[in-house]
Amino acid sequence: MDDRGILELLQAMVRAPSHTGVPRQEEAAAGALAAYLRGRGVPAELVEVRDGRPNLIATLAGKRPGPHLLFCGHLDTVPPNSGAAGDLFSATVDSGRVFGRGTVDMKGALAAMAGALAGIRESGGLDSGRVTLAAVVDEEMESIGAEALIRSGFKADGAVVGEPTGNRVAVGHKGLEWFEVTFTGKAAHGGTPEAGVNAIAAAAHFVSLVERELVPGFERRRDPALGLPAINMGTIRGGQQPSMVAADCAIQLDRRWVTTETIEQVFDDIEALLARVREARPGLRTKLARMPGGMATMLHGPLVIDRGHPLVVSALAAFGDVGLAVPATDVFPAWTDGALLAREAGIPAIIWGPGALELAHSPEESLPIEDLYQAARLYAAAARRFTATR
């Protein structure tokens, strides 16, 4: 494999900022990826999802019909951290690591996937089947790129989503909902609080009920693969000044749900607790709503694949093919586009990519170069195995 070319591709993509606020956000990164692939004889097409925001689609076809494998990753990143000591778009190499925004999440995986396609082509191509690389836009926000791919009618027999797992194969992740709960009470003088309805006190009551009653009940919904559901109170704001009874308060929360639950249960759980808070505080009004920006149109549900699926078997066998010990499978702690591919397009998916998740979105974001090269070899070996299955 052309290791040097894979590293240079990653550096080129990191040096093409693709976070929110950048004009034509992902276009330059997609262009760098397309140039690499086309320069190595792999056809690559840019398909605009929105103006200046293209998905990249590149397909390598085998000599005979066979299974179709999708490599999928996202071109966008989160913005640079405020106050970061260095330039997060320099793609500096130091002490065997490449540094910069997107090295881990997840331009490193895209570079490795592109390297795998180029390596397969340069070593004689596929005996059977097809491999497609889809580099999509907007995963960090609403996943409009993955939704566009699915709405185009794209189909495959399996998908590898290259989020950072330390090159371990992850067989699923929890679903994700972001909610805002608003409490509307009645303002009054702080010296006569009985004349008002305190929205902050109502919010505190709600949080207490979540912790004392909702969370302990999650044990009854434990998922055999994904574990327990989870809920996190992320932000709270309310009130105007200490001497006023707060008329308004809002909580934004993160709810991770599993296959033993339904989305209706997720909503109903919270609504039932809010009903009890309203009952205890006559005159209080509450509202539960999805936060804008958390999803476009498709539900961000959980993902699970059976460990005996040919995709998982092929991925694990790839480790032996490249001379590595086979690791245990894992569960990914964050949400990914893999859930949309599996739930909306019927494409079984695993999460598998280089890098440590704890470095993603951080000012220290960096990727060991050997992990990058290892991922490319693993992807290529898995692709050869999966496309040869019957």
Summarize the confidence of residues 172-187 as an average pLDDT: 98
Long-range contacts of the stretch 39-42 (C-beta < 8 A, 24+): 40/2, 40/5, 40/118, 40/121, 40/122, 41/118, 41/121, 41/122, 42/114, 42/117, 42/118, 42/121
pLDDT at 178 over 90: yes
Q: pLDDT digits over 317-345, tens only?
A: 999 999 999 999 999 999 999 999 999 99
For the segment 91-127, what is each residue's pLDDT rounded down to a tens digit?
A: 999 999 999 999 999 999 999 999 999 999 999 999 9
Greatest distance between any 2 Cα atoms in the chain: 82
- Residues annotated as catalytic are 76, 139
CA distance 357 to 163: 8
Indicate the helix (H) or strand (E) that contains 46.
strand 44-50
Locate all alpha helices (DSSP H) within 182-251, ordered by sequence.
199-209, 215-217
Q: Please provide residue 12's backbone torsions phi and psi, each rounded to the nearest 5 degrees.
A: -65, -40
Dist. CA 349–CA 372, nearest whole Å: 21
pLDDT band at 173 (very low <50, low <70, confident <90, very high): very high
> Where does residue 74 fall: left (phi above 0), alpha (psi -120 to 50 degrees), or beta otherwise?
beta
pLDDT for the residue 294: 81
The pTM is what? 0.94
Q: Is 159 helix (H, G, I), strand (E, B) or coil?
A: strand
The mean pLDDT value for 266-284 works out to: 98
For residue 90, the model assigns a pLDDT of 95
Instruction: Specify whether the CB–CB gap between 149 and 136 falls below 8 A.
Output: yes
What local confidence, expressed as pLDDT, does residue 344 receive?
97
Q: pLDDT tens for residues 10-66?
A: 999 999 999 999 999 999 999 999 999 999 999 999 999 999 999 999 999 999 999
CA–CA distance, 161 with 112 (Å, rounded to integer): 12
Sheet of 93-94, strands arranged across: 93-94, 97-99, 366-368
What is the per-residue pLDDT for 390?
73
82 or 38: whose pLDDT is higher?
Answer: 38
